[in-house]
Structure 1
Amino acid sequence: MLNRNMEIRVRRGSIPNWMIAEKLRIHENTFYRWMRMEMSEKRKQEVITVIEEIKEEMKNGGNHQ
């Protein structure tokens, strides 16, 4: 049960959920709902891509938008 979307949880690290949701252009609560159930591979890859983009922006000191 707690292993749902574990790859996303690990990759996310300390990135706040609201930041991921904003980049995905969804409401933060929608992202929380997505995390409650195992995501499809397509959705999971979309979220992982956004996480990697945020990490790169943070590394470069850029704005997350």
Structure 2
Amino acid sequence: MLANADIRAAAKGASVRIWEIADHLRISEPSITRKLRHELPQAEKDRIFSIIEEIAKEKAVD
């Protein structure tokens, strides 16, 4: 099973791309891809979940 499957599923369910999360974090897409290879601490996951929600809301407004 992939590490951080919950983050990947949340992003996919919200139609948010990994590169969009990276952009929000002000890091490169390869950096976030490497970061997601290993299970993240819960605090960091919570931050990413809130970013996913924020991006999804922005897309809903557009």
Fold match by TM threshold 0.5: yes
Q: Following the alignment from structure 1 to structure 2, what is the Cα–Cα distance between the partners of residues 35 and 17?
A: 10
The number of equivalent residue pairs is 60
Amino acid aligned to 2:7: I
- What is the DSSP-based 3-state SS (H/G/I as helix, E as strand, rest coil) of the residue aligned with 1:43? helix
Q: Which has the higher contact order (CA 8 A, sep 6+)?
A: 2
Identity %: 33
2:17 maps to which residue?
Answer: 16
- Which deviations, in whole Å up to 9, do the C-alpha atoms of 1:4-63 show, x marking residues without a partner? 1111011101322111100111111110011100001111111111101000000111xx
- What is the DSSP-based 3-state SS (H/G/I as helix, E as strand, rest coil) of the residue aligned with 2:2? coil
TM score, norm. by length of structure 2: 0.86
* Runs of at least 5 residues in structure 2 that lack an aligned partner in the other structure: none
2:54 maps to which residue?
Answer: 53
TM score, norm. by length of structure 1: 0.83
* Runs of at least 5 residues in structure 1 that lack an aligned partner in the other structure: none
- Normalized per residue, which structure has more helix? 2
